[in-house]
Structure 1
């Protein structure tokens, strides 16, 4: 891929909607990818569109929401109109969109409304490669053409120092499992109903007690519970991997990031929502040998979820491009 893949980035549009993105919040991966693709010293970008294999639409849905959305209206029409207008400019000025109806073009959005914004153009929604944190198959995410993007929450743009000093692999962790989070969505409601304050070993909190540290609690636990909220993706999955705490995925209709190449069963536990009442029994049934394999798997995949600056081989930037490359291989160009 490194030797062959070339990406053309459209230069049309102005910041903040285009060529810019968030780099210090829940949607960090969206802004960091845009900036790395546009300004990083990577091998993939080409200035010659005729040499490109894929074409990047470098707009930020998060920035659109910040500037175009009217609070409390839940009206995404302005986002859809921007996308529609942007693609009209692209398809009029260049021949590349029309020859595949967008099949070799990709957008990237971590905001929950990324899928909704993509409906501004039917071919963007149905044909293009959509790289989305909100990778929900019940809401139109198509794993054959779309890419699941990991949600990475970097408060100040960097991994927390606490997560950079994880104890050695063999150090015992005193607690079975940990979760702390608000009541966002039905899955968390069930989790809190069954386990909030019920067990000193399987620690589940709605609000983290003042005497506890969030990341330290992860590092002290063998398993980290990662239930979906209002949307399927959760930054806890990546945080758990950083903490080398085996993620426990509790979700529905969620396509896990990079699952084309990563065997999630080798470094995580997936629990059906209906099995939330049996959570402790399920985790206790994992043998010591199985747990060591899972922990080893977490350590092995950790580098694939790191946002380096500048990007490094095998990190999340390269994993995203590899996922896009795999889907581009399915696109046939018109002979026009």
Structure 2
């Protein structure tokens, strides 16, 4: 049986975090609002989960972890009349036709969908769903909150409505054992490279002694490489799973991408624009180096502290803990609970 978090230890934790957030700089968009709302969420938030058509599992590890945590969550209610939001469970390999049938069934068999045309519903799709000519799937896509795994395929994410799950980093457990400030900074930037993404750009970086390029399969000391680098470089769409580890170790994340992105995890909570950098591949390694060197030591110190503080909310636990990744995703759902409920017209 799911249990709620003890109130007094949680309040103490919230007060400590609020005190830390009050000091400049803060990684939060609105520290005071965050912690007040978070406590209200723990006390009041209710989610009704529809019974799935048949049992299924998510092969994606972080989607599976979120889904299983949600099923065991104390936020769940068996009374749909007290629910703020409704969760629509379906297998990630569900076809468009089957998805349309699912929504049609909600429309016919349950009153809740029609009240808002699905605006108080949410669903989990690791890659996100695309637009469809089918009315039912289009309503699900445009109205309901989609939760996907970061990063999301272009066109499958609607900013200000949809949510992404922070990546799951299997090696995150080594962070607690890593000594702080174990080494002096030897590199301007560290890139953990998959050997394929933006290969020309990566090859340029390899030729510059200020950058350390580490091909994943050859990595022997990732923690050491992070600790000896000022900035940690990530190709958007490549391997982003180690971002949380890098941030926790005080390495400022630099996302290399050629277009604006709005699907970063916890966009409603964290000030990503102040704790990270977005840099285009245009201009190559030379331009990247200019951008990184333009960050003053004062600015860098603030970004480093904010990145480290923000990383605490990007951690996934098998059993959810206060203010961890699971609870922050739920918090973003809580912020979306206010929807317009369309009054059903009575026939005259």
Structure-1-length-normalised TM-score: 0.79
Per-residue CA distance 1:175-232 (angstroms, 9 max, x = gap): 22111323555xx24422432x212331124x347473334422332211011137xx
Deviates more, 1:31-40 or 1:88-97: 88-97
* Aligned equivalents of 1:258, 1:10: Cα separation in 2: 25
Q: Is 1:57 aligned to 2:67, yes or no?
A: no
**Count of matched residue positions in the alignment of Structure 1 and Structure 2:** 299
Partner of 2:58: 21
Q: Is 1:247 aligned to 2:250, yes or no?
A: no
Kindly report which structure 2 residues correspond to 1:159-174, keeping only aligned pairs within 5 A, or say none: 159-168=171-180, 172-174=184-186
* Aligned equivalents of 1:273, 1:239: Cα separation in 2: 24
Partner of 1:72: none
Q: Is 1:179 aligned to 2:191, yes or no?
A: yes
Q: Is 1:2 aligned to 2:42, yes or no?
A: yes
* Aligned equivalents of 1:8, 1:302: Cα separation in 2: 30
Partner of 2:148: 132
The structure whose Rg is larger is: 2
* Aligned equivalents of 1:164, 1:117: Cα separation in 2: 43
Q: Is contact 1:30-1:60 (8 Å) kept?
A: no
Distance verdict in 2 for CA 1:285–1:302, change over 3 Å: same
* Aligned equivalents of 1:117, 1:11: Cα separation in 2: 25
Partner of 1:192: 202
Q: Is contact 1:184-1:229 (8 Å) kept?
A: no
Moved over 6 A (4+): 117-120
The answer for unaligned runs of 5 or more in structure 1 is 65-77
Per-residue CA distance 1:245-298 (angstroms, 9 max, x = gap): 211012223212222221113321221332443112222232222222111111
Structure-2-length-normalised TM-score: 0.76
Distance verdict in 2 for CA 1:235–1:209, change over 3 Å: closer
* Aligned equivalents of 2:335, 2:70: Cα separation in 1: 18
Per-residue CA distance 1:49-98 (angstroms, 9 max, x = gap): 1110111112342xx2xxxxxxxxxxxxx532332233333333311112
Kindly report which structure 2 residues correspond to 1:60-209, keeping only aligned pairs within 5 A, or say none: 60-61=91-92, 64=93, 79-110=95-126, 112=127, 114-116=128-130, 121-133=137-149, 139-154=155-170, 159-168=171-180, 172-182=184-194, 188-195=198-205, 197-205=206-214, 207-208=215-216
RMSD in angstroms over aligned alpha carbons? Answer: 2.7
Q: Is contact 2:252-2:303 (8 Å) kept?
A: yes
Deviates more, 1:256-265 or 1:175-184: 175-184
Q: Is 1:35 aligned to 2:75, yes or no?
A: no
* Aligned equivalents of 2:250, 2:193: Cα separation in 1: 19
